[in-house]
Amino acid sequence: MAGQGAQPARQSVPAATRQGWRFAVVVGVFLAVMAALIWRLVDLQVVDQAFLRKQGDVRTIRVETIDAHRGVITDRHGEPLAVSAPVQTLWANPSRMDPDEPRLTNLARLLGIHEATLRERLRDYASREFIYLRRKIQPSLAQQVMDLGIDGVYSRQEYRRYYPAGEVTSHVVGFTNIDEHGQEGMELSYDDWLSGEPGSKRVLKDNRGRAIKDLALIRDAQPGHDLNLSIDLRLQYLAYRELKAMVQAQSARGGTMVMLDVDTGEVLAMVNQGAYNPNDRSQLDPVNLRNKAVTDLFEPGSTMKPITMAAALSSGKYHVGDMIDTNPGYRRFGRFTIRDERNYGVLSLTDIIVKSSNVGISRIANDLGGDVVRDLYSRLGIGQPTGIGFPGEAVGVLPAPPSWYPVEEATLSYGYGLSLNALQLAQAYMVLANGGIRYPISLLRLNEAPRGERVLSEKVTAEVRAMLKSVVDRGTGTRADPGLYSAGGKTGTVHLVGAHGYEDSQYKGIFAGMAPIDHPRIVTVVAVDAPQSGEYYGGEVAAPVFARVMSDALRLLNVKPELEVSGSSSRPGHSGERG
């Protein structure tokens, strides 16, 4: 028994040992865990503090772009032609949105998009954090959308280009795309000048991605520069109205008009038909985007006869009182025949212009030689860029053969065998109007007088202007008479060129002129393409537009009337000649 009683005493030693060992293990593990936690805290708070702070900021602090305000385009008097208005752009974070959200029905209705398409987009881009819902909409509409309270839908401010004059200035001003980058016209030519530099700022956002606080401005937005055009919006409206009325009345294919300031070379008005409204491009026809005054070339026809006459007078071989025999009313050059409307017999230099005699002017050109006529054309800017920097400007063609055939000299004298645009023709007539100085053409308002180049003498240009006055008084241009002001100009009628050469039944009617004739203020070129009402001569379709526009334009410019008219014009009636 004594042996049995001693057995538990021998077993109690190992049990205590095991308990101590277990306690030591538990304490050791606890201390190890505590040490690990302490080390991790030290690691987080000291070693990785900068990294963790940055990662936290990434999830709450964002850098947002500050859109720059695009520069304003104005006319010469400061009237806005293109402005950027604040609008709202709606975007969504598909990763935070439920494609089955019931309120998406109202969202789709407000934005004018198909509900099924919207839900499908959200499903397709569920892994992304950004998609556009609708860009550049009215702030009131954006507020209605935000009032729906849909999680994941956000709004931000942008700018949208607006054109107060609409289609009236569309071909000059042009337009921008949705990102406010110039696509046509002066918006494209001066895109870098008009565009601003976007800025950026650091903002704090909540867990819904909404900005709740501006933290810091990183870089301020730099607005674009303004652009002051030479266009006079009053004259632009006037020119557009009259040209459009004539094109509609004649059922014409189109038309062009350019008005230049005689003493500066500034473009006061430039309009075309057809046109487009840059504020509503839903029905935009690409054909109407061209500014035909600078992009479309044509043969100027009889409007070049006064310039050929200027070359003759400048040569010293001809004087105003000289007479030219145009009998028998035509000239043959091999298989080519040049004709007048009838046999005018012996004509003075003035009457060659008044009656628009092809025979008379071609005889003079053959006597002068093709190089003499071409040289003056070139010095007037024909066959050369105008320098306005307008996108798509066409230079035209001014032939320069090694040697001239007589028929080439003849046709060059009355505006065939070369091509130019309406602005180049206006520039040439500007030199006749201002006493012989060729100024650079400008679509920007000039703050100081430009430096010009003398091309013709004052004596010669005064003699040619007297001839142009006679055209309006008693020649092919009597319908260009502006009433209270004296005017001068020249008609032109040319066949349009089609895919297979000249179109027999399609014409361009042209009138180029100036007023008041003694001290011209404005030069205007009018061209009407393919009139269909039966009238197509320049004196019938283009001259009346010139008369109406010049009469009102000179009054708007405060030019004192020269004539007193009671009842009807005291000018002689139409002579019956057509040009």
516 prior amide bond cis, ω within 30: yes
- The burial class, CB within 10 Å (0-12 / 13-18 / 19+), for 22 is exposed
Per DSSP, helices labelled H in 333-440 are 349-354, 358-368, 370-379, 406-413, 422-433
How far, CA to CA in Å, does 251 sit from each of 244, 273, 348, 498, 547? 10, 11, 38, 19, 20
Q: Cα–Cα distances in Å, from 92 out to 99, 116, 147, 154, 489?
A: 12, 16, 15, 6, 62
Is residue 251 annotated as part of the catalytic site, yes or no?
Answer: no
Helix (H) or strand (E) holding 215: strand 211-219
Q: Is-cis flag, bond preceding 306, omega within 30?
A: no
Spatial CA neighbour of 343 closest among 360, 355, 331, 326: 326
Q: CB-based contacts of 438: which residues, under 8 Å, 6+ apart?
A: 379, 380, 381, 427, 430, 431, 452, 453, 454, 455
171 in the Ramachandran plot: left (φ > 0), alpha (ψ -120 to 50) or beta? alpha
Q: Which amino acid is at 426?
A: A
Q: Structure tokens of 377?
A: 């054309």
CB atoms under 10 Å from CB of 247, counted, come to 23
Helix (H, G, I), strand (E, B) or coil at 510: strand
Q: Which residues contact 166 (CB under 8 A, 6 or more apart)?
A: 277, 278, 279
Between helix 305-315 and helix 422-433 the angle, nearest 10°, is 40
CA 474-480-482 angle, to 5 degrees, is 105
Give the whole-angstrom CA distance, residue 219 versus residue 289: 37
Rounded CA-CA distance 260/269 in Å is: 7
> Using CA atoms, how far apart are residues 415 and 526, in angstroms rounded to an integer?
16
Structure tokens at 252: 């014409």
Please tell me which residue in 84, 302, 314, 470 is annotated as part of the active site.
Answer: 302
H or E element, residue 118: helix 115-124
Look up residue 331 and give its two tokens: 């000239």
Catalytic residues: 302
